[in-house]
Chain A
Amino acid sequence: MSWLIDNFGQVWSLTVDHVVYSAIPIILGFVIAVPIGWLTNRYRLSRATVLTIVGLLYTVPSLPLIIVLPTLLGTRILDPVNIVVALTIYAVAIMVRTASDAFASVDVDVLLSATAVGFSTWRRFWGVELPLAGPVLLSGVRVVSVSTISLLTVGAVMGIPNLGYLFLDGLQRNFPLEIVVGIVGTILIAVIFDAVLALLGRLLLPWTRGRKQRRRATVTDPELEVVGAS
């Protein structure tokens, strides 16, 4: 434990990097995926195509993706932009499917009623569709959040600063405690992000309180969709 106290400054700065580099892809992934998910429902023909493309994106393993991206983006291999783009791609890949399912879960009769009382498409989206799709979207973001935070550590082998650095350094110095600190730190960040998202959900979707049982049931669904990049 004295190692942690002596090196707290370094661990803390890696933790801050970890939080920043995982928060950006989570937010970007949500912002990009929600409109795509909505469109796949609106134009049913595109659904199969979009979901197939998105599924293929997720099959690309993470380390190779970080290496291929510089040639496609014109960035340098050590540029943190590569890992942010890579993680955003995975976030979008998970989130589009969930977003599409979320909007599909909104009752068609409710939408017709909204139109019938004079809602424009724009107002109907913000006032009816998005809030009703909210609980499923939230469960999707929670899955994206966990996987993004744990995937980011792979970036450390390409020199991008985050808690994954402790794994490599710990192995080199034959010092398991350092690796354990890295793993525990990564899990702690994931747990805190998840708690923040759950809290946001309670504030923004107050009507889902007291329906815990049903929400649990939907939470497991996007987890099933999550396939294997690491």
Chain B
Amino acid sequence: MTAWYQTFAWLADPANWAGPGGIPARLGEHVVYSLVTLIVAVAIAVPIGVIIGHTGKGRAVAVQLSGALRALPTLGVVLLLALWLGTGLGPPLVALVVLALPPLLAGAYAGVSAVDRQTIDAARGIGMTETQVLFKVELPLAMPIIIGGIRSGALQVIATWTVAAYLPVGGLGRFIYDGYAVQNYAEMLGASVLVIVLALVADGVFALIQRLVVPRGVVVGRASDVRVRSSKRLATTSQSTTAG
């Protein structure tokens, strides 16, 4: 229990809230690093994933590649790139972007390929072009699962930037390693609490976005499903909503 009192004391100490090494500065760094990583990764992975989902080509390669990337130990990749490419933010950024690709790719292709074939055929049937099918039918319907992939990626990025602070970079992980070096457990624990809160907040924000991007027509359809109260229907709808 004393560890927690000391932690709250550390968190409440105004000295820890000021300057370039203070809590707001480190938190800001962590958020900015994570956002930049995520934006770059999304820009690479989502278009590729959507194309795979739309054409159905390259799916096996994407699955294999995501699986292989998942086996890579993040810490090792981050440190290896730092040795090869030198110090600064660049090397860990490259490593983290690569490691964030699998969930984003998986979300994008799973989301698009999960769209009902009949819906797509109907869209073609009423004369939509391929581009219209993609942007007006497939993408809106896939959006909750695509955002789900980004949500997973965001959590991973926040977690990995914490570990990556082993290098001389900023972010909340800085407190953990600096605290470890001088055996200041309160500082490590305080920073850990901050990272956990940041991860939970980010998860909550993405959960909210995931809800907001569900197309209106689909929401209406779901509401009527609930009213039917057939157990099989309920099972299928709950599965589709938890898929991300």
Contacts and interface: CB of A to CB of B under 8 A. Distances in A.
Nearest to A228: B156
A61 B162 contact: yes
B196 A64 contact: yes
A146 B242 CA distance: 23
A143 B163 CA distance: 22
A228 B154 contact: yes
B210 interface: no
Given A51-B242, A154-B163, A229-B159, A59 B199 contact: yes
A176 B70 contact: no
B37 interface: no
A88 B77 CA distance: 24
Interface string A182-224: 1100110011000000000000000000000000000010011
Contacts of B193: 64, 68
Interface of B is mostly: helix
Given A61-B162, A156-B75, A226 B152 contact: yes
Interface stretch (A5-13, A113-121, A125-133, A167-175): A167-175
Interface stretch (B9-17, B103-111, B127-135, B222-230): B103-111
Among B80, B82, B106, find the residue whose CB has the most chain A CB atoms closer than 10 A.
Answer: B80
A180 B106 CA distance: 27
A221 to B, nearest CB: 8
B83 interface: yes
Interface of A is mostly: helix
B239 interface: yes
Given A51-B242, A150-B71, A62 B110 contact: no
Among B157, B159, B180, B239, find the residue whose CB has the most chain A CB atoms closer than 10 A.
Answer: B159
A224 to B, nearest CB: 5
B52 interface: no
Interface string A65-96: 10110110000010000000000000000000
B188 A176 contact: no
A170 B66 contact: no
A102 to B, nearest CB: 12
A137 interface: no
Nearest to B2: A71
Nearest to A70: B3
A64 B173 CA distance: 9
A170 B79 contact: yes
30 contacts: A47-B238, A48-B238, A59-B199, A59-B203, A60-B199, A60-B200, A61-B155, A61-B162, A63-B159, A63-B173, A64-B191, A68-B192, A104-B239, A150-B74, A153-B75, A164-B73, A164-B75, A176-B84, A183-B73, A183-B80, A187-B71, A190-B71, A223-B63, A223-B66, A224-B110, A227-B152, A227-B155, A228-B152, A229-B155, A230-B163
Interface of A: 47-48, 51, 56, 58-65, 67-68, 70-71, 77, 97, 101, 104, 146-147, 149-150, 153-154, 156-158, 163-164, 166-168, 170-171, 174-176, 179-180, 182-183, 186-187, 190-191, 220, 223-224, 226-230
Interface of B: 3-4, 63, 66-67, 70-77, 79-80, 82-84, 99, 103, 106-107, 110, 151-160, 162-163, 166, 173, 176-177, 180, 185, 188-189, 191-193, 195-196, 199-200, 203, 235, 238-239, 242-244
Given A64-B162, A223-B70, 6 more contacts: A51-B242, A62-B163, A167-B75, A176-B80, A180-B80, A229-B155
